[in-house]
Structure 1
Amino acid sequence: MALLHDYGPALLQGLLITLLLSVSSWIAAFVISLALTMLRMTRIRVLEFLVLAFIEYQRNVPPLVHLFIWYFGVSSLLAFDMQDWINAHNGEFIFAVIAIGLYYGAYFAEDIRSGMRSIPRGQYEAARAIGLSYAGTLRRVILPQALRVAIPPMVSGSVMLVKTSSLAMVIGVMELTYVTKDIASDTFQIFEAYGISTAMYVVVALCILFFGSWLSQRLQIKGR
């Protein structure tokens, strides 16, 4: 295919940016989700309310709006020196990672919390009985099991995260969809251009699903 021959490197570069954006956002989302889960499990009413409010805000506002808020809104509130530094260091990519990471961090936090609720209450009591603190019980006993249970929904969320990364094109991130749009505009081969990028997204999604399936089997408790 002539299009793939002529624009293959550009498409691969766009795919690389998509993967980099997705991985960076996933790491941010996972760290945020753990922090939210731990704060919510402190049983401090104020913290529980703030975490719940944050999660509901993130989940009920479209990710595109979050991107606009961070890129056009939050960036304008920063000091001029900070704005200049961010603009000089790929600011649109940084804000995309923050917006997508926060958005999916809220979803991952709920997945982990659901996993924690599936753990029998007796395991909490047994851990406390052998001398573990509340935080130690969560970190050493409950959270590892909850993450195992949360793998399937988090895998689905990870696929959604990759697809959501395409929205970053609207703030200038030159990921796969951005590159595809430019190629389609230059060549007028719209079906071919988007067909190739679609195939790339499908391959990435299938790789995530296969990895998630392998990880679930790998971490499955023997004898269940």
Structure 2
Amino acid sequence: MSFESMAVLQEPYLSWLLQGLSLTFALFIFSWTTAFVLGFLLLLLRMSPIKVIAWIPATYIELARNIPLLVQIMFWYFAVPMLLPDFLQQALNRGDSGFVLAGLALGFCMAAYFSESFRSGVRSINNTQLEASRALGFSFLRTMQYIVFPQALRATIPLIMNNTLLLFKNTSIAMAIGVHELMYQVLSINNDTFRTFEIFFVATLVFLFFSVLIMIAGEFAERWAKKSRRISDA
């Protein structure tokens, strides 16, 4: 069996696959950015000396990590819009609400994993550096920005890449709420052609290919982090 002979790789199905793949990447970038930024915010709140404030992100992280992602996506799609003002509901309905809500659900869920990765990196930094920075007059945020976060990021690159890979694979769950990403298009092609083995074989190869690319990028990023750490220690 050659790829040229596959009916699922002929038009119009090839265009369907490419459209689904482009939407998968758009969803991945949107949710990854949300998870990364929110993960940092959760980390800052969790490091607060006020126990009540630190308790809030800790509780959220435990909930996000222990509730199935599919349940979270369904909650964001069906329940969250009902809590919004009418003008925001109308704005969502006018746009691609499924894409936006799926991206937010993925981002808010994975933010818990990113935050824990950042936290492990921060905990690996010697406390004497924090004490020295405060003695020099650095504020808490300045200490985080110039001393803690750069080192924490380098230390947690393997964990960040693992979370990135997990997020990329989880984008396929967005098909449950009708987002026309890759797996949605795969199912549509299967229903149209009944060539089940062919289309799922192609989908498996596509996900495997890009997952391996993310793993390779992680290897290069980890080597760069180790090299930069050796230079800074020299």
Asked if Structure 1 and Structure 2 have the same fold, meaning a TM-score greater than 0.5 normalized by the shorter chain, the answer is: yes
C-alpha distance in 2 between matches for 1:211 and 1:127: 33
Is 1:14 aligned to 2:14, yes or no?
no
- Write the mapping of 1:191-206 to structure 2, written as runs, cut at 5 A: 191-206=197-212
Is 1:142 aligned to 2:163, yes or no?
no
Q: Give the AA of the match of 2:158.
A: P
Once the two structures are aligned, what percentage of the paired residues are identical?
Answer: 38
C-alpha distance in 1 between matches for 2:110 and 2:147: 25
Is 1:222 aligned to 2:230, yes or no?
yes
C-alpha distance in 2 between matches for 1:107 and 1:96: 17
SS at match of 2:199: helix
Q: 1:2 aligns with which of 3, 7, 11?
A: 7
1:154 Cα deviation from its structure 2 partner: 1.2
Q: How big is each residue's C-alpha offset from its partner over 1:27-58, in whole Å with a ceiling of 9 and x where there is no partner? A: 00000000011111121111111111111111
Q: Structure 1-normalised TM-score?
A: 0.96
- The count of corresponding residues between Structure 1 and Structure 2 is 224
Q: How big is each residue's C-alpha offset from its partner over 1:45-72, in whole Å with a ceiling of 9 and x where there is no partner? A: 1111111111111111011111111110
Is 1:45 aligned to 2:51, yes or no?
yes
Q: Structure 2-normalised TM-score?
A: 0.92
Q: How big is each residue's C-alpha offset from its partner over 1:150-194, in whole Å with a ceiling of 9 and x where there is no partner? A: 110111111111111111101110000000001011101011101
1:77 Cα deviation from its structure 2 partner: 2.4
C-alpha distance in 2 between matches for 1:204 and 1:156: 13
Q: 2:105 aligns with which of 99, 104, 110?
A: 99
1:173/1:129 Cα in 2 relative to 1: closer, same or farther (>3 Å)? Answer: same
Q: How big is each residue's C-alpha offset from its partner over 1:107-140, in whole Å with a ceiling of 9 and x where there is no partner? A: 1000000010011112112222322122211111
CA RMSD across the alignment: 1.3
C-alpha distance in 2 between matches for 1:82 and 1:50: 26
Contact 2:76 2:105 in 1 (8 A): yes
Q: Which residue of 1 aligns with 2:3?
A: none
SS at match of 2:44: helix
Q: 1:110 aligns with which of 116, 121, 145?
A: 116
SS at match of 2:117: helix
Q: Which runs of 5+ in 1 are unaligned?
A: none
Q: Which runs of 5+ in 2 are unaligned?
A: 1-5
